[in-house]
Chain A
């Protein structure tokens, strides 16, 4: 199929439809709304379910119910709406029913604004709801990647009976780029509903979907089962994009749009003689900690670029801690913009040069955050 000029939000919607999504439930919120509107048009055309819920709280619980039937289902929202879904996400994770969530992030906290941001890293990657659960988190940096990862999200959700999240910022949701859509998933390949699904207990014992384990030993055992699955995923499902890392001694790390901007900065840095490289995690859970640890052996410093006050940077620090030559920890610096501002390549290049001047193979003291007095970007 040829490339088409597609808007991020709509491309994700069409990719989900082609992945065989049978039901969509959602609530309008900028900068995600085109996805919902696209579904409102397309799903009924295909005889599938579209329903605008009365809130994100209802939407996620409709997803929960529909997911219990074993069909492919999804919702999409943006940061404040995803906050409201956290209760449901915890229940769904604990019930082991698969579904897909798309979070098109905007500026926060609070009502914030509708400009692109990456402030949901913590609530999505670490699990903003109660208890020890994880979701598979996929972070595209282009419209094409958003299309591809949407398909992957459904496949991984089904495979592991987990929630898979496509996490992107508002600029990618709103941006138009050429992208190629995949063919429709083969209906037969999607198969009959799995054995655990609620479909009416016809000729079989009843099925129950629940998240309660009242006896502490049972609850602990169930948690161990979940953790074992998460550990398996951490071994097998890590994905990242690398650029010029082979001989790099300065590694820039960023996901989604921040990673894409950082790649331009890395190119500029190379042109100026710096041995810079980029690691852009595509899966945020599982996190590419192994690969970062490997890179720590060759790198004198890491620069983490995010559109938030520094959320993923903590995971980078953990991954490289003590992994440098001689068991030392390479320098880890952070450059971030907040409030819905996308960093420019020049800014990232500046931060990279500052890192190049100071970072060596000496033990690093624990990092101290400092906010510039003029209220500019955060650097620490």
Chain B
């Protein structure tokens, strides 16, 4: 008689403990979910789940606190960096991060983000750039590409009237308090892996007390771009990458060694 051979399935991946076991409200094909997963994996791998406090934005990620298993505050539109400053100053041993969209960070909250960088505040900022206001139904953002059609630029963004899009990683890299400012993308597996490494570095920068750390993530918004998910990923590659080159815009002394 043949002995029963039981093959133990090899578990190669489990949901990170820092990610809640729940459904998200994100649209199909939206990369906010990927960004959440990467942040949660990094929090787990660095063993920070019990000493991290997140600050959610106003935007599609407003309910981020439902998806992370860490203490969370929900800020007013654009004010997450100021709120995070208040938390970090009182509890310097906690890892404090904000998670913000491009309307939140680059438009209404430009003042707050600039000053946390200027102060070299020990914070980690995850900046999701999808070139549009997602939550309110697809209006023009400061990051909307020239000619891009949105609900509030129906004929395409007219740069004569509205100026050119802001490149936030470059802009914030120019401030002395910034220790780390990079741009990554979520449009394919290779870039997602690179994005995760950058997020990890951005948390380590905070752990080491080196200053302000920002990871800009080029992200898709199939619903408001009016594209199927795969085409939306291609749109990142074809349309966004030329204007928003991936790269490291500031890697201060000491970051390399982390």
Contacts and interface: CB of A to CB of B under 8 A. Distances in A.
B86 A209 contact: no
A364 interface: no
B55 interface: yes
Contact of A51 (B74, B84, B89, B94): B89
Contacts of A62: 82-83, 85-86, 89
B70 A199 contact: no
A61 B49 CA distance: 24
Contacts of B82: 53, 57-59, 61-62, 64-65
B54 to A, nearest CB: 9
Contact of A54 (B52, B56, B111): B111
A66 B89 contact: yes
A69 B94 CA distance: 11
Nearest to B94: A200
A66 B63 CA distance: 21
B248 interface: no
A268 interface: no
B79 interface: yes
A199 B87 CA distance: 9
B151 interface: no
Contacts of A25: 86
B159 interface: no
A366 to B, nearest CB: 40
Nearest to A69: B90
Nearest to B55: A65
A66 B74 contact: no
Contact of B71 (A49, A61, A201): A201
A113 interface: no
Interface in A26-58: 49, 51, 53-55, 57-58
Given A55-B111, A61-B112, A202-B51, A211 B74 contact: yes
A215 to B, nearest CB: 13
Interface string A189-222: 0000000001111110011111110000000000
B69 interface: yes
Contact of A209 (B63, B72, B88, B89): B72
A61 B86 contact: yes
Contacts of A200: 50-53, 70-71, 91, 94
Given A53-B82, A62-B83, A200-B52, A206 B89 contact: no
A88 B69 CA distance: 26
Interface in B39-93: 49-53, 55-56, 62-63, 65, 68-76, 79, 82-91
A41 B23 CA distance: 50
Most chain B CB inside 10 Å of its own CB: which residue of A69, A199, A206: A206
Contacts of B84: 65
A67 B231 CA distance: 44
Contacts of A69: 87, 90-91
Contacts of B36: none
A274 to B, nearest CB: 51
B84 to A, nearest CB: 6
B115 interface: yes
Contacts of B49: 201
Contacts of A54: 111-112, 115
A49 B87 CA distance: 11
Nearest to A92: B76
Given A61-B83, A200-B53, A206 B90 contact: no
Q: Kindly name the residue among B75, B89, B90 whose own CB sees the greatest number of chain A CB atoms within 10 A.
A: B90
Contacts, number: 127
Contacts of A63: 86
B79 A206 contact: no
A73 interface: yes
Interface in A304-347: none
A68 interface: yes
Interface string B89-124: 111001000000000000000011001000000000
A200 B51 CA distance: 4
Contact of B74 (A59, A201, A202, A208): A208
Contacts of B51: 200, 202
B86 A198 contact: no
A86 to B, nearest CB: 11
Contact of B50 (A64, A67, A203, A207): A203
B115 A206 contact: no
Contact of A73 (B65, B68, B86): B86
A126 to B, nearest CB: 20
Interface in A155-178: none
Contact of A57 (B63, B85, B91, B111): B111
A22 interface: yes
Given A54-B111, A200-B53, A201-B49, A210 B89 contact: no
A87 interface: yes
A201 B69 contact: yes
A71 interface: yes
20 contacts: A23-B86, A51-B85, A53-B82, A54-B112, A58-B115, A61-B79, A61-B82, A62-B82, A64-B73, A66-B87, A68-B73, A68-B87, A95-B73, A95-B74, A200-B91, A208-B72, A208-B73, A208-B74, A212-B62, A212-B63
Given A57-B112, A62-B89, 16 more contacts: A54-B115, A57-B79, A61-B82, A61-B86, A64-B73, A64-B83, A65-B75, A65-B82, A65-B87, A66-B90, A67-B86, A69-B90, A200-B71, A201-B50, A207-B71, A210-B74
Interface of B: 49-53, 55-56, 62-63, 65, 68-76, 79, 82-91, 94, 111-112, 115
Nearest 9 A/B pairs, CB to CB: A65-B86, A65-B83, A61-B82, A66-B86, A62-B86, A210-B74, A200-B51, A61-B79, A202-B50
